[in-house]
Structure 1
Amino acid sequence: MEGIVHRMVEVNGINMHVAEKGDGPVVLFLHGFPDLWYSWRHQILSLSSRGYRAVAPDLRGYGDTDAPSSISSYMCFHLVGDIVALIDSLGVDQVFLVAHDWGAILGWYLCLFRPERVRVYVCLSVPFRPFLGRNPKVRTVDAFHALYGDDYYICRFQVFISFHLLLLVGREYGTGINPNTPENLPSWLTEEDLAYYVSKFGKTGFTGGLNYYRNLNLDWELTSPWNGVGISDKIPVRFITGDLDLVYTSAGMKEYIHGGGFKKDVPCLEEVFVQKGVAHFNNQEAAEDTSNLIYDFISKF
């Protein structure tokens, strides 16, 4: 992608790969599972052309960033520590934060633990509640077992098994991708995009990304001091999701997002946008619309 600069940064005891372009206020993009900095390729080009410094790392365990072997190296404090150290390395006090999926969860943690580092938060797909609306009596994975059964993907991710990227994406998120028939790729994913993902996950596998899920119960224990704590009323938030996103359509989620619960937990939640005909990967499926929604919000601050 023309003009995007790639470099390695030492953060929090690991080497992190960062892709960036542009000059101006920093917009920090955090990707989800199973993804890479590359998922923000459209937004990097769009925001950098509008006067921002767009920065997107491969998170710990992904792509060209180090992938420690220990499962406990992926607990939430390590992951947020990486982000704080990355912000420090950029030479700024605050960033415009944009995040999706697991990146969105880390974004909420950053807002919770270090709110002074976040100027504005644009969250895609995962609202504050699912992982961080902490039940003090039931561990996170245990709650998913009780709600959805042993075959629920988060429960299955606790088991040490391997997944091919495209088969996993097709099964869990309904993209219908078959690695043997690239002509069936969805319109938002080209053969070039597919080749990039295959090259990176072919090198790293999925263990690092799966370890995020394998620390959910440990994260539940470690975050007990924040039980019942909401997001700072000093962080303006915009939430963007697709009406076909399985997070959005899961039991009770629409009621929480639109019924006042989300606004109670996130008092500076200013707007919720539901993109029609869009599923989970909205930063890629509806790239231009998502980029415009991000820019429209952050340009106010």
Structure 2
Amino acid sequence: MENHRNVSEFILLGLSSDYNIQIFCFVFFLFCYIVLLGGNLLILISVLCSPLFNQPMYYFLVHLSSMDICYTSTVTPKLIADLLVERKTIAYSNCMFQVFTMHFFGGVEVFILTAMAYDRYVAICKPLHYMLIMSRTKCNFLVIAAWIGGAIHAFPLFTIAISLPFCGPNEIDHYFCDVFPLLKIACTDTYINGVLIIAFSGMVALVTFVILFFSYGVILFSLRNQSAEGRQKALSTCGSHITVVILFFAPDIFIYLRPPTTFPEDKIVALFYTIIAPMFNPLIYTLRNTEMKNTLRKVWCQRFLSREAHT
């Protein structure tokens, strides 16, 4: 910590210095955060209170919703609160903690999306062996592997962040602490650090995206042998997954898979993978999924009717 003795806190420049824009952003992002929490909690409670939890796809969906809440909560509450204050500061320790948690939960989410793609591949391409291959033991193993993968992804980036010396400038041109904006104000040559960040973050995102893209390509190709009804159901489910993958990975790859530099537009792009994509996940998985919509109606109608009867 000796290298950081001159900097005890950072100043976040946020999205805009215009008062009217900040008020608009406060209302908009507060709404987004409430929708995100409500939608993901709705999925969590509905699946946990129904037989769907025994199905691998919904078992993974519960974990994905949990990660959406954790991942977004590392950034969004601070962003919303900062929009109401003039001087947006974050302590050095909180900044480093934000770097770690964001990349940890983001990494876990990436690997859970990969597990969901594997689940859909087995369900569509090997339907007769589906329950044997996707046993609860196998599902638990994949979730644990996702958590381990998230830790392996986050620790190197966290190590890079805490090793940076800060000896003067402490203004971060962003609305949260991330490794590239921190490199910009570090008092040292950060070229090697930038290359390592691309290797640990950008390449992970790119390789995972290619694997997911290839997996869904194989799945869609195999649908030619399915009946019209089976093809429609599979397309609906896979369409939801592909939409989520594109919303999350496209901006992520844009930010982390390029030379270590920052642009003013990065803050806008980052909104897509920190807030917008996690907010849309519940809508995408429920509106395009008949089974999920029926479960929501059944679980919540039963709860409402039982409460009415008790009253």
Q: Is the structural similarity TM-score above 0.5?
A: no
TM-score normalized by structure 2?
A: 0.25
Larger Rg: 2
* The structure with more strand, counted as a fraction of residues: 1
* The structure with more helix, counted as a fraction of residues: 2
